[in-house]
A and B are shown apart, each in its own frame.
Chain A
Amino acid sequence: MTEAVLLGETEKRIDMEASGDVKSSPELPLRISGMHKRYPGRGVVLDGVNLEVGKREAVALIGSNGSGKSTLLRCSLRLIEPDESDTIFLGEKVQTLGRRDLRALRAKVGFVFQKHNLVLRSSVLTNVVHGSFARTWGVKAWNQATAPKGIREEAMYCLDRVGLAHLSASRADRLSGGESQRVAIARALMQKPKFLMADEPVASLDPRVGDEVMDLLLGLTRQEDLTLLYVSHNLDHALNYADRIVGLSDHQIKIDAPATSLSKSMLRGLYGGGNDD
Protein backbone atom coordinates (compact mmCIF):
# COMPACT_ATOMS: atom_id res chain seq x y z
CA MET A 1 0.00 0.00 0.00
CA THR A 2 1.45 3.38 0.97
CA GLU A 3 4.96 2.14 1.56
CA ALA A 4 6.53 5.13 -0.16
CA VAL A 5 4.75 7.43 2.29
CA LEU A 6 5.42 5.26 5.32
CA LEU A 7 9.03 4.52 4.64
CA GLY A 8 10.84 7.63 5.50
CA GLU A 9 11.99 8.54 9.00
CA THR A 10 15.31 6.71 8.87
CA GLU A 11 16.00 7.69 5.27
CA LYS A 12 15.16 11.31 6.13
CA ARG A 13 17.71 11.22 8.94
CA ILE A 14 20.36 9.67 6.71
CA ASP A 15 19.78 12.45 4.16
CA MET A 16 19.92 15.05 6.92
CA GLU A 17 23.11 13.58 8.26
CA ALA A 18 24.64 13.59 4.80
CA SER A 19 23.80 17.28 4.61
CA GLY A 20 25.25 17.82 8.08
CA ASP A 21 21.94 18.50 9.85
CA VAL A 22 22.17 15.50 12.17
CA LYS A 23 25.26 14.36 14.02
CA SER A 24 25.59 10.80 15.31
CA SER A 25 25.43 10.16 19.06
CA PRO A 26 24.51 11.57 21.55
CA GLU A 27 21.43 12.85 19.68
CA LEU A 28 21.29 9.61 17.72
CA PRO A 29 22.03 6.86 20.23
CA LEU A 30 21.50 4.03 17.75
CA ARG A 31 22.33 3.96 14.07
CA ILE A 32 22.26 0.66 12.18
CA SER A 33 23.39 0.61 8.56
CA GLY A 34 23.29 -2.34 6.18
CA MET A 35 22.63 -5.06 8.72
CA HIS A 36 22.60 -8.53 7.16
CA LYS A 37 21.93 -11.74 9.01
CA ARG A 38 21.42 -15.19 7.64
CA TYR A 39 20.80 -18.31 9.75
CA PRO A 40 21.98 -21.65 8.39
CA GLY A 41 18.94 -23.66 7.36
CA ARG A 42 16.59 -20.68 7.74
CA GLY A 43 17.99 -18.34 5.17
CA VAL A 44 18.18 -14.56 5.21
CA VAL A 45 16.51 -12.87 8.18
CA LEU A 46 17.79 -9.33 7.77
CA ASP A 47 18.74 -8.00 4.39
CA GLY A 48 20.54 -4.69 4.56
CA VAL A 49 18.45 -3.12 7.29
CA ASN A 50 19.00 0.55 8.13
CA LEU A 51 17.55 1.98 11.31
CA GLU A 52 18.12 5.05 13.41
CA VAL A 53 16.70 5.80 16.81
CA GLY A 54 16.80 9.34 18.16
CA LYS A 55 17.41 10.34 21.77
CA ARG A 56 14.36 9.99 24.06
CA GLU A 57 12.39 8.37 21.27
CA ALA A 58 10.12 5.40 21.95
CA VAL A 59 10.23 3.21 18.86
CA ALA A 60 8.06 0.14 18.33
CA LEU A 61 9.40 -2.59 16.09
CA ILE A 62 6.65 -4.69 14.58
CA GLY A 63 6.42 -7.47 12.01
CA SER A 64 5.25 -11.02 11.56
CA ASN A 65 6.90 -14.02 13.24
CA GLY A 66 10.35 -14.68 11.81
CA SER A 67 10.63 -11.23 10.27
CA GLY A 68 13.84 -10.59 12.20
CA LYS A 69 12.71 -8.17 14.93
CA SER A 70 14.41 -9.98 17.81
CA THR A 71 17.43 -10.72 15.65
CA LEU A 72 17.74 -7.00 14.91
CA LEU A 73 17.79 -6.14 18.62
CA ARG A 74 20.29 -8.86 19.42
CA CYS A 75 22.55 -8.12 16.46
CA SER A 76 22.73 -4.46 17.43
CA LEU A 77 24.44 -5.52 20.69
CA ARG A 78 26.21 -8.48 19.09
CA LEU A 79 24.37 -10.92 21.31
CA ILE A 80 24.03 -12.57 17.92
CA GLU A 81 26.81 -11.74 15.49
CA PRO A 82 25.45 -10.11 12.34
CA ASP A 83 26.99 -11.23 9.05
CA GLU A 84 27.44 -7.62 8.07
CA SER A 85 26.58 -4.40 9.83
CA ASP A 86 27.82 -0.92 10.51
CA THR A 87 26.23 -0.10 13.85
CA ILE A 88 26.97 2.89 16.00
CA PHE A 89 25.46 2.44 19.45
CA LEU A 90 25.85 5.14 22.09
CA GLY A 91 28.79 6.51 20.16
CA GLU A 92 30.59 3.15 19.84
CA LYS A 93 31.26 1.33 16.59
CA VAL A 94 29.84 -1.98 17.73
CA GLN A 95 31.54 -4.20 15.14
CA THR A 96 35.03 -3.10 16.16
CA LEU A 97 34.62 -3.46 19.92
CA GLY A 98 36.72 -5.95 21.86
CA ARG A 99 35.19 -8.15 24.55
CA ARG A 100 35.73 -5.71 27.39
CA ASP A 101 34.39 -2.70 25.49
CA LEU A 102 31.43 -4.69 24.27
CA ARG A 103 30.60 -5.59 27.87
CA ALA A 104 30.85 -1.92 28.79
CA LEU A 105 28.46 -0.99 25.98
CA ARG A 106 25.96 -3.72 26.87
CA ALA A 107 25.98 -2.50 30.44
CA LYS A 108 24.57 0.83 29.25
CA VAL A 109 21.65 -0.85 27.54
CA GLY A 110 18.81 -2.24 29.63
CA PHE A 111 17.24 -5.27 27.96
CA VAL A 112 13.82 -6.60 28.93
CA PHE A 113 13.04 -10.06 27.57
CA GLN A 114 9.75 -11.69 26.67
CA LYS A 115 10.30 -14.53 29.14
CA HIS A 116 11.72 -12.18 31.80
CA ASN A 117 14.87 -14.33 32.06
CA LEU A 118 15.16 -14.04 35.82
CA VAL A 119 17.30 -16.49 37.76
CA LEU A 120 14.32 -18.36 39.16
CA ARG A 121 15.95 -19.94 42.18
CA SER A 122 17.42 -16.64 43.36
CA SER A 123 15.60 -13.99 45.33
CA VAL A 124 13.97 -10.96 43.74
CA LEU A 125 16.59 -8.70 45.35
CA THR A 126 19.45 -10.84 44.02
CA ASN A 127 17.98 -10.63 40.53
CA VAL A 128 17.87 -6.85 40.73
CA VAL A 129 21.39 -6.69 42.21
CA HIS A 130 22.57 -8.54 39.06
CA GLY A 131 21.79 -5.33 37.18
CA SER A 132 24.93 -3.80 38.71
CA PHE A 133 27.27 -6.37 37.14
CA ALA A 134 29.00 -4.00 34.78
CA ARG A 135 29.85 -1.36 37.39
CA THR A 136 31.03 -3.69 40.14
CA TRP A 137 33.76 -6.28 40.25
CA GLY A 138 34.40 -9.52 42.08
CA VAL A 139 31.54 -11.04 43.99
CA LYS A 140 29.63 -7.82 44.66
CA ALA A 141 26.84 -8.44 42.16
CA TRP A 142 26.74 -12.23 42.44
CA ASN A 143 24.11 -12.26 45.12
CA GLN A 144 22.29 -9.83 47.43
CA ALA A 145 24.21 -11.38 50.35
CA THR A 146 27.57 -10.44 48.84
CA ALA A 147 26.48 -7.00 47.60
CA PRO A 148 27.66 -3.86 49.44
CA LYS A 149 25.12 -1.78 51.32
CA GLY A 150 24.94 0.89 48.60
CA ILE A 151 24.12 -1.63 45.87
CA ARG A 152 21.47 -3.31 48.03
CA GLU A 153 19.82 0.03 48.76
CA GLU A 154 19.89 0.97 45.09
CA ALA A 155 18.31 -2.36 44.19
CA MET A 156 15.57 -1.78 46.76
CA TYR A 157 14.95 1.68 45.28
CA CYS A 158 14.62 0.17 41.78
CA LEU A 159 12.20 -2.43 43.14
CA ASP A 160 10.22 0.32 44.82
CA ARG A 161 9.93 2.14 41.51
CA VAL A 162 8.22 -0.87 39.96
CA GLY A 163 6.09 -1.32 43.09
CA LEU A 164 7.62 -4.57 44.29
CA ALA A 165 9.84 -3.60 47.23
CA HIS A 166 7.67 -5.76 49.49
CA LEU A 167 8.60 -8.88 47.48
CA SER A 168 12.36 -8.39 47.66
CA ALA A 169 12.94 -11.53 49.75
CA SER A 170 10.66 -13.77 47.64
CA ARG A 171 12.15 -16.28 45.28
CA ALA A 172 11.72 -15.31 41.62
CA ASP A 173 9.93 -18.56 40.77
CA ARG A 174 7.10 -17.65 43.17
CA LEU A 175 6.15 -14.49 41.22
CA SER A 176 3.31 -14.03 38.75
CA GLY A 177 4.12 -13.21 35.12
CA GLY A 178 3.45 -9.50 35.61
CA GLU A 179 5.54 -9.36 38.78
CA SER A 180 8.41 -11.19 37.05
CA GLN A 181 8.41 -8.68 34.22
CA ARG A 182 8.40 -5.80 36.71
CA VAL A 183 11.43 -7.33 38.42
CA ALA A 184 13.10 -7.62 35.02
CA ILE A 185 12.41 -3.92 34.47
CA ALA A 186 13.82 -3.09 37.91
CA ARG A 187 16.92 -5.11 37.01
CA ALA A 188 17.27 -3.11 33.79
CA LEU A 189 16.90 0.15 35.79
CA MET A 190 19.62 -1.04 38.15
CA GLN A 191 21.99 -0.92 35.20
CA LYS A 192 21.45 2.87 35.05
CA PRO A 193 20.95 2.42 31.33
CA LYS A 194 21.07 5.08 28.66
CA PHE A 195 18.95 3.03 26.31
CA LEU A 196 16.21 0.48 26.89
CA MET A 197 15.40 -2.46 24.63
CA ALA A 198 12.44 -4.75 25.15
CA ASP A 199 11.76 -7.88 23.17
CA GLU A 200 8.02 -8.55 23.27
CA PRO A 201 7.89 -7.53 26.94
CA VAL A 202 4.18 -8.30 27.38
CA ALA A 203 3.76 -11.27 25.03
CA SER A 204 3.41 -13.73 27.90
CA LEU A 205 1.07 -11.54 29.98
CA ASP A 206 -2.69 -11.13 30.00
CA PRO A 207 -4.02 -7.91 28.37
CA ARG A 208 -4.61 -6.01 31.62
CA VAL A 209 -1.19 -6.84 33.09
CA GLY A 210 0.33 -6.24 29.65
CA ASP A 211 -1.07 -2.70 29.63
CA GLU A 212 0.21 -2.13 33.18
CA VAL A 213 3.71 -3.28 32.24
CA MET A 214 3.72 -1.10 29.11
CA ASP A 215 2.53 1.90 31.18
CA LEU A 216 5.35 1.25 33.61
CA LEU A 217 7.97 0.76 30.90
CA LEU A 218 7.05 3.91 29.03
CA GLY A 219 6.58 5.91 32.26
CA LEU A 220 10.06 5.01 33.47
CA THR A 221 11.51 5.69 30.02
CA ARG A 222 10.06 9.20 30.08
CA GLN A 223 11.03 9.87 33.71
CA GLU A 224 14.60 8.74 33.18
CA ASP A 225 14.99 10.47 29.79
CA LEU A 226 15.77 7.15 28.18
CA THR A 227 15.43 5.93 24.63
CA LEU A 228 13.20 2.90 24.12
CA LEU A 229 13.20 0.40 21.30
CA TYR A 230 10.68 -2.38 21.79
CA VAL A 231 9.37 -5.29 19.79
CA SER A 232 5.64 -5.88 19.93
CA HIS A 233 3.01 -7.99 18.25
CA ASN A 234 0.29 -5.90 19.82
CA LEU A 235 -0.65 -3.17 17.36
CA ASP A 236 -2.46 -1.18 20.06
CA HIS A 237 0.71 -1.15 22.15
CA ALA A 238 2.68 -0.02 19.13
CA LEU A 239 0.25 2.78 18.32
CA ASN A 240 -0.39 3.90 21.92
CA TYR A 241 3.07 3.77 23.44
CA ALA A 242 5.51 4.54 20.62
CA ASP A 243 6.51 7.85 19.07
CA ARG A 244 7.50 6.00 15.96
CA ILE A 245 6.72 2.63 14.44
CA VAL A 246 9.14 0.59 12.38
CA GLY A 247 7.70 -2.38 10.51
CA LEU A 248 9.78 -5.29 9.24
CA SER A 249 8.65 -7.51 6.42
CA ASP A 250 10.49 -9.64 3.88
CA HIS A 251 13.71 -9.06 5.85
CA GLN A 252 13.60 -5.31 5.32
CA ILE A 253 12.03 -2.25 6.88
CA LYS A 254 8.76 -1.54 5.10
CA ILE A 255 7.25 0.99 7.49
CA ASP A 256 9.07 3.75 9.34
CA ALA A 257 6.79 6.57 10.38
CA PRO A 258 5.49 8.51 13.39
CA ALA A 259 2.86 6.53 15.28
CA THR A 260 0.39 9.38 14.98
CA SER A 261 0.45 9.08 11.20
CA LEU A 262 -0.42 5.39 11.22
CA SER A 263 -3.53 3.34 11.84
CA LYS A 264 -4.14 -0.26 12.76
CA SER A 265 -5.27 -1.12 9.24
CA MET A 266 -2.08 0.33 7.76
CA LEU A 267 0.00 -1.79 10.11
CA ARG A 268 -2.00 -4.93 9.36
CA GLY A 269 -0.68 -4.74 5.82
CA LEU A 270 2.64 -5.91 7.23
CA TYR A 271 1.08 -9.18 8.33
CA GLY A 272 -0.76 -9.70 5.06
CA GLY A 273 -4.10 -8.87 6.79
CA GLY A 274 -7.05 -6.90 5.47
CA ASN A 275 -7.86 -3.19 5.95
CA ASP A 276 -10.80 -3.64 8.26
CA ASP A 277 -10.25 -0.61 10.48
Chain B
Amino acid sequence: MTDFSVQKRVETPGVFRSILYILCLLFFLWSCNGAELSLLELIEGIPHMGRVAGEMTPPDVSRAGFVGKAMLVTFQMALVGTVFGVMFSFLLAIPAARSQTPSRTLYYVSRFIISFCRSVPDLVWAIFFVASVGLGAFAGTLTIMVDTVGFCGRFFAESMEEVEKGPQEALSTMGASRMSIITSAVVPSAMPSFVNTSLFALEKAVRSSVVLGLVGAGGIGIELKVAMDLFQYQQAGAIILSIFLLVICVEQISSCIRRRIM
Protein backbone atom coordinates (compact mmCIF):
# COMPACT_ATOMS: atom_id res chain seq x y z
CA MET B 1 0.00 0.00 0.00
CA THR B 2 1.21 3.49 -0.77
CA ASP B 3 2.52 5.36 2.25
CA PHE B 4 0.63 8.58 2.78
CA SER B 5 -0.29 10.83 5.67
CA VAL B 6 -3.81 12.16 6.19
CA GLN B 7 -4.13 15.90 6.62
CA LYS B 8 -4.90 17.06 10.19
CA ARG B 9 -8.55 18.02 10.73
CA VAL B 10 -7.50 21.32 12.32
CA GLU B 11 -4.08 22.84 11.83
CA THR B 12 -2.50 24.10 15.06
CA PRO B 13 -1.70 27.79 14.56
CA GLY B 14 1.90 28.94 14.96
CA VAL B 15 3.09 31.27 17.73
CA PHE B 16 2.77 34.44 15.65
CA ARG B 17 -0.73 33.55 14.47
CA SER B 18 -1.81 32.61 18.03
CA ILE B 19 -0.63 35.98 19.33
CA LEU B 20 -2.48 37.70 16.49
CA TYR B 21 -5.72 35.86 17.35
CA ILE B 22 -5.41 36.79 21.04
CA LEU B 23 -4.74 40.45 20.16
CA CYS B 24 -7.82 40.51 17.90
CA LEU B 25 -9.96 39.04 20.65
CA LEU B 26 -8.65 41.55 23.21
CA PHE B 27 -9.32 44.44 20.81
CA PHE B 28 -12.88 43.22 20.29
CA LEU B 29 -13.47 43.05 24.06
CA TRP B 30 -12.04 46.54 24.46
CA SER B 31 -14.34 47.72 21.63
CA CYS B 32 -17.35 46.29 23.46
CA ASN B 33 -16.40 48.53 26.37
CA GLY B 34 -15.94 51.50 24.01
CA ALA B 35 -19.38 50.83 22.52
CA GLU B 36 -20.79 50.97 26.07
CA LEU B 37 -22.39 47.58 25.59
CA SER B 38 -24.55 46.97 28.63
CA LEU B 39 -26.91 44.03 29.11
CA LEU B 40 -28.38 45.70 32.21
CA GLU B 41 -29.37 48.86 30.36
CA LEU B 42 -30.84 46.76 27.55
CA ILE B 43 -33.01 44.82 29.99
CA GLU B 44 -34.07 48.06 31.73
CA GLY B 45 -34.86 49.62 28.32
CA ILE B 46 -37.15 46.84 27.11
CA PRO B 47 -40.25 48.11 28.99
CA HIS B 48 -39.66 51.61 27.55
CA MET B 49 -39.41 50.15 24.05
CA GLY B 50 -42.69 48.39 24.67
CA ARG B 51 -44.26 51.61 25.93
CA VAL B 52 -43.16 53.68 22.88
CA ALA B 53 -44.24 50.90 20.53
CA GLY B 54 -47.58 50.74 22.35
CA GLU B 55 -48.09 54.48 22.01
CA MET B 56 -47.54 54.17 18.27
CA THR B 57 -50.58 51.93 17.91
CA PRO B 58 -53.06 52.30 16.47
CA PRO B 59 -51.26 54.35 13.79
CA ASP B 60 -52.88 57.71 13.13
CA VAL B 61 -54.03 57.61 9.51
CA SER B 62 -55.77 60.99 9.59
CA ARG B 63 -52.87 62.48 7.58
CA ALA B 64 -52.65 59.54 5.20
CA GLY B 65 -52.87 61.76 2.12
CA PHE B 66 -50.04 63.98 3.27
CA VAL B 67 -47.88 61.02 4.34
CA GLY B 68 -48.61 59.26 1.03
CA LYS B 69 -47.47 62.33 -0.90
CA ALA B 70 -44.27 62.54 1.14
CA MET B 71 -43.68 58.83 0.56
CA LEU B 72 -44.12 59.35 -3.17
CA VAL B 73 -41.53 62.16 -3.13
CA THR B 74 -39.21 59.89 -1.11
CA PHE B 75 -39.51 57.16 -3.73
CA GLN B 76 -39.09 59.64 -6.58
CA MET B 77 -35.88 60.95 -4.98
CA ALA B 78 -34.60 57.39 -4.67
CA LEU B 79 -35.56 56.47 -8.22
CA VAL B 80 -34.14 59.56 -9.94
CA GLY B 81 -30.98 59.55 -7.81
CA THR B 82 -30.42 55.86 -8.52
CA VAL B 83 -31.01 56.15 -12.28
CA PHE B 84 -28.58 59.06 -12.68
CA GLY B 85 -26.16 57.40 -10.24
CA VAL B 86 -26.24 54.18 -12.28
CA MET B 87 -25.57 56.14 -15.47
CA PHE B 88 -22.54 57.92 -13.99
CA SER B 89 -21.39 54.67 -12.40
CA PHE B 90 -21.39 52.96 -15.78
CA LEU B 91 -19.32 55.75 -17.34
CA LEU B 92 -16.84 55.65 -14.45
CA ALA B 93 -16.72 51.86 -14.32
CA ILE B 94 -15.24 51.52 -17.83
CA PRO B 95 -11.96 53.25 -16.99
CA ALA B 96 -12.12 51.77 -13.47
CA ALA B 97 -12.08 48.20 -14.82
CA ARG B 98 -8.50 47.00 -15.08
CA SER B 99 -9.25 45.00 -18.21
CA GLN B 100 -11.06 47.83 -20.04
CA THR B 101 -9.30 51.00 -19.00
CA PRO B 102 -7.65 52.94 -21.81
CA SER B 103 -4.92 54.28 -19.51
CA ARG B 104 -3.44 53.67 -16.09
CA THR B 105 -3.96 57.30 -15.04
CA LEU B 106 -7.67 57.14 -15.89
CA TYR B 107 -7.89 53.88 -13.95
CA TYR B 108 -6.54 55.45 -10.77
CA VAL B 109 -8.54 58.68 -11.18
CA SER B 110 -11.84 56.82 -11.69
CA ARG B 111 -11.09 54.38 -8.85
CA PHE B 112 -10.34 57.35 -6.57
CA ILE B 113 -13.62 59.10 -7.45
CA ILE B 114 -15.60 55.91 -6.80
CA SER B 115 -13.80 55.22 -3.51
CA PHE B 116 -14.31 58.82 -2.37
CA CYS B 117 -18.05 58.70 -3.13
CA ARG B 118 -18.31 55.43 -1.21
CA SER B 119 -16.21 56.29 1.80
CA VAL B 120 -18.13 59.46 2.75
CA PRO B 121 -21.39 58.45 4.52
CA ASP B 122 -24.66 59.48 2.87
CA LEU B 123 -25.72 61.68 5.79
CA VAL B 124 -22.51 63.69 5.41
CA TRP B 125 -23.21 64.07 1.68
CA ALA B 126 -26.77 65.14 2.54
CA ILE B 127 -25.51 67.85 4.93
CA PHE B 128 -23.07 69.00 2.23
CA PHE B 129 -25.75 69.21 -0.45
CA VAL B 130 -28.31 70.87 1.84
CA ALA B 131 -25.66 73.52 2.53
CA SER B 132 -24.91 73.79 -1.21
CA VAL B 133 -28.31 73.70 -2.94
CA GLY B 134 -30.63 74.32 -0.01
CA LEU B 135 -33.23 72.26 1.84
CA GLY B 136 -35.44 69.88 -0.06
CA ALA B 137 -35.67 66.86 -2.32
CA PHE B 138 -32.99 68.03 -4.77
CA ALA B 139 -30.31 67.81 -2.07
CA GLY B 140 -31.55 64.31 -1.25
CA THR B 141 -31.52 63.28 -4.90
CA LEU B 142 -27.92 64.49 -5.32
CA THR B 143 -26.96 62.57 -2.18
CA ILE B 144 -28.46 59.35 -3.49
CA MET B 145 -26.79 59.87 -6.84
CA VAL B 146 -23.33 60.23 -5.29
CA ASP B 147 -23.97 57.34 -2.92
CA THR B 148 -25.06 55.16 -5.87
CA VAL B 149 -21.88 56.03 -7.78
CA GLY B 150 -19.84 54.82 -4.80
CA PHE B 151 -21.84 51.61 -4.57
CA CYS B 152 -22.47 50.73 -8.23
CA GLY B 153 -19.22 52.07 -9.69
CA ARG B 154 -17.14 49.51 -7.85
CA PHE B 155 -19.44 46.56 -8.57
CA PHE B 156 -19.87 47.53 -12.24
CA ALA B 157 -16.10 47.73 -12.69
CA GLU B 158 -15.61 44.36 -11.00
CA SER B 159 -18.34 42.78 -13.17
CA MET B 160 -16.61 44.08 -16.29
CA GLU B 161 -13.32 42.61 -15.10
CA GLU B 162 -14.90 39.23 -14.43
CA VAL B 163 -16.75 38.65 -17.72
CA GLU B 164 -15.53 35.86 -19.95
CA LYS B 165 -12.60 36.93 -22.10
CA GLY B 166 -13.44 34.65 -25.05
CA PRO B 167 -16.07 36.83 -26.78
CA GLN B 168 -13.82 39.88 -26.32
CA GLU B 169 -10.95 38.04 -27.98
CA ALA B 170 -13.27 36.98 -30.81
CA LEU B 171 -14.40 40.56 -31.48
CA SER B 172 -10.84 41.82 -31.22
CA THR B 173 -9.82 39.23 -33.83
CA MET B 174 -12.52 40.58 -36.13
CA GLY B 175 -11.01 44.04 -35.92
CA ALA B 176 -13.54 45.57 -33.52
CA SER B 177 -12.50 48.74 -31.70
CA ARG B 178 -12.17 48.88 -27.91
CA MET B 179 -15.47 50.73 -27.61
CA SER B 180 -17.23 48.17 -29.83
CA ILE B 181 -15.86 45.32 -27.72
CA ILE B 182 -17.18 46.99 -24.57
CA THR B 183 -20.63 47.67 -26.00
CA SER B 184 -21.03 44.36 -27.84
CA ALA B 185 -19.29 41.80 -25.65
CA VAL B 186 -18.57 43.21 -22.19
CA VAL B 187 -21.84 45.01 -21.48
CA PRO B 188 -24.19 42.19 -22.61
CA SER B 189 -22.18 39.67 -20.59
CA ALA B 190 -22.13 41.86 -17.49
CA MET B 191 -25.76 42.97 -17.88
CA PRO B 192 -27.29 40.58 -15.30
CA SER B 193 -24.79 41.82 -12.75
CA PHE B 194 -25.46 45.46 -13.70
CA VAL B 195 -29.22 45.04 -13.31
CA ASN B 196 -28.81 43.11 -10.08
CA THR B 197 -26.52 45.75 -8.57
CA SER B 198 -28.77 48.58 -9.77
CA LEU B 199 -31.79 46.99 -8.11
CA PHE B 200 -29.87 46.61 -4.85
CA ALA B 201 -28.85 50.26 -5.22
CA LEU B 202 -32.52 51.23 -5.61
CA GLU B 203 -33.47 49.28 -2.48
CA LYS B 204 -30.61 50.91 -0.59
CA ALA B 205 -31.60 54.34 -1.94
CA VAL B 206 -35.21 53.92 -0.79
CA ARG B 207 -33.99 53.15 2.74
CA SER B 208 -31.46 56.02 2.67
CA SER B 209 -33.96 58.54 1.31
CA VAL B 210 -36.09 57.98 4.41
CA VAL B 211 -33.20 58.95 6.68
CA LEU B 212 -32.00 61.88 4.57
CA GLY B 213 -35.06 63.91 5.56
CA LEU B 214 -33.68 64.05 9.09
CA VAL B 215 -31.06 66.56 7.90
CA GLY B 216 -33.50 68.43 5.65
CA ALA B 217 -32.75 66.65 2.38
CA GLY B 218 -36.42 66.10 1.52
CA GLY B 219 -38.72 63.10 1.75
CA ILE B 220 -40.60 61.48 4.60
CA GLY B 221 -37.71 61.60 7.08
CA ILE B 222 -38.46 65.14 8.22
CA GLU B 223 -42.09 64.21 8.93
CA LEU B 224 -40.94 61.30 11.07
CA LYS B 225 -38.53 63.52 12.98
CA VAL B 226 -41.21 66.15 13.65
CA ALA B 227 -43.71 63.52 14.80
CA MET B 228 -41.14 61.96 17.16
CA ASP B 229 -39.97 65.35 18.49
CA LEU B 230 -43.58 66.33 19.25
CA PHE B 231 -44.27 62.93 20.86
CA GLN B 232 -46.98 62.26 18.27
CA TYR B 233 -46.18 58.56 18.34
CA GLN B 234 -49.36 57.44 16.56
CA GLN B 235 -48.48 59.66 13.61
CA ALA B 236 -44.91 58.37 13.75
CA GLY B 237 -46.34 54.84 13.75
CA ALA B 238 -48.27 55.56 10.55
CA ILE B 239 -45.12 56.95 8.91
CA ILE B 240 -42.99 53.96 9.98
CA LEU B 241 -45.68 51.60 8.69
CA SER B 242 -45.76 53.37 5.32
CA ILE B 243 -41.93 53.27 5.14
CA PHE B 244 -42.08 49.55 5.86
CA LEU B 245 -44.66 49.02 3.09
CA LEU B 246 -42.64 51.04 0.57
CA VAL B 247 -39.40 49.19 1.32
CA ILE B 248 -41.14 45.79 1.15
CA CYS B 249 -42.83 46.71 -2.17
CA VAL B 250 -39.56 47.86 -3.75
CA GLU B 251 -37.74 44.74 -2.49
CA GLN B 252 -40.44 42.42 -3.81
CA ILE B 253 -40.57 44.08 -7.22
CA SER B 254 -36.79 44.09 -7.56
CA SER B 255 -36.58 40.40 -6.50
CA CYS B 256 -39.17 39.60 -9.15
CA ILE B 257 -37.19 41.45 -11.84
CA ARG B 258 -33.96 39.81 -10.62
CA ARG B 259 -35.49 36.33 -10.91
CA ARG B 260 -36.61 37.04 -14.46
CA ILE B 261 -33.26 38.29 -15.71
CA MET B 262 -30.95 35.81 -13.98
Contact = CB atoms under 8 A, between A and B. Distances in A.
Q: Do A and B come from one complex?
A: yes
B167 A79 contact: no
Interface string A162-181: 00000000000000000000
Nearest to A114: B166
B189 interface: yes
B177 A103 contact: yes
Interface string A59-75: 00000000000000000
B173 A111 contact: yes
Interface of B: 164, 166-167, 169-177, 180, 183-185, 188-189, 191-192
Interface residues of A, number: 30
Given A113-B169, A119-B188, A120-B189, A104 B180 contact: no
B184 A79 contact: no
B171 A133 contact: yes
Nearest to A105: B175
Contact of A107 (B169, B175, B183, B188): B175
Nearest to B170: A117
Minimum-distance CB pairs A-B, first 9: A107-B175, A134-B175, A117-B170, A117-B166, A103-B175, A133-B176, A111-B173, A106-B175, A119-B167
A121 B173 CA distance: 20
B166 A104 contact: no
Given A106-B174, A111-B170, A119 B189 contact: yes
Contact of A121 (B171, B183, B188): B188
A104 B192 CA distance: 33
Given A107-B175, A111-B173, A121-B189, A141 B184 contact: yes
Contacts of A237: none
Interface of A: 77, 79, 103-107, 109, 111, 113, 115-122, 126, 130-131, 133-134, 139, 141-143, 184, 187, 191
A130 B188 contact: no
Given A119-B185, A120-B189, A113 B175 contact: no
18 contacts: A79-B172, A105-B175, A106-B173, A106-B174, A107-B174, A113-B169, A119-B184, A119-B188, A119-B189, A120-B167, A130-B171, A133-B171, A134-B174, A134-B176, A142-B180, A142-B183, A143-B184, A191-B174
Contacts of A117: 166-167, 169-170
A184 to B, nearest CB: 8
Contacts of A79: 169, 172-173
Nearest to B178: A99
Contacts of A122: 184, 188
Contacts of A111: 170, 173-174
Contacts of A116: 166
A55 to B, nearest CB: 21
Given A119-B185, A121-B191, A142-B184, A130 B169 contact: no
B155 to A, nearest CB: 18
A187 B16 CA distance: 58
A92 B203 CA distance: 55
Contacts of A184: 170
Contacts of B185: 119
Most chain A CB neighbours (cut-off 10 Å) among B170, B171, B176, B192: B170
Contacts of B183: 139, 142
A100 to B, nearest CB: 9
A122 B180 CA distance: 14
A106 B175 CA distance: 5
